[in-house]
């Protein structure tokens, strides 16, 4: 996993449109778990906000807290907007760093809409770490 100086996970993109393997794989995980509410590529929907906007001001720790514990936000119309707690969902939590880096790259305008152009090769240790998380 790539880390910023702050310790937050980050992405790496290349001029040819390829991105690092973790971010690419989390593009896939985002679209299997999150896009139903937050729209394709994190652009939002009538049901949930654009995460590409949220991550312009939300840091990694706040992102993890909201995803794992959920949040209720009062909307101007008086209806509550509810983000369910996903802390027990291994299909999200085992991949959360990469989901964050994918959305952060989209938010920063570095990762374009659509399927990424390619990815780095998969190291064996990554598959083992994912399997351990899912089994644990």
Those residues of the chain that have pLDDT short of 50 are: none
- Which residues lie across from 130 on neighbouring strands? none
Instruction: Give the pLDDT confidence score for residue 3 in this predicted structure.
Output: 60
Please report the pLDDT score of residue 1 as a whole number: 56
How much of the chain exceeds pLDDT 70, in percent?
83
Sign of the dihedral through C-alpha 122, 123, 127, 129:
negative
Tell me the pTM.
0.81
Domains in the chain (CATH in brackets) are 2-119 (1.10.760.10)
């Amino acid at each position: 996993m790539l880390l910023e100086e702050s310790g937050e996970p980050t992405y790496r993109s290349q001029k040819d449109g390829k991105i690092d393997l973790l971010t690419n794989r989390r593009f896939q995980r985002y679209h299997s778990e999150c896009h139903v509410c937050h729209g394709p590529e994190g652009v939002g929907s009538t049901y949930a906000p654009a995460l590409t906007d949220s991550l312009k001001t939300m840091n990694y720790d706040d992102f993890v807290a909201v995803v794992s514990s959920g949040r209720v936000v009062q909307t101007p119309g008086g209806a509550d907007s509810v983000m369910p707690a996903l802390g027990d969902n291994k299909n999200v939590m085992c991949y959360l760093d990469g989901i964050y880096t994918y959305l952060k790259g989209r938010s920063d305008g570095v990762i374009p809409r659509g399927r990424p152009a390619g990815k780095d090769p998969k190291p064996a240790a990554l598959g083992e770490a994912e399997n351990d998380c899912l089994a644990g």
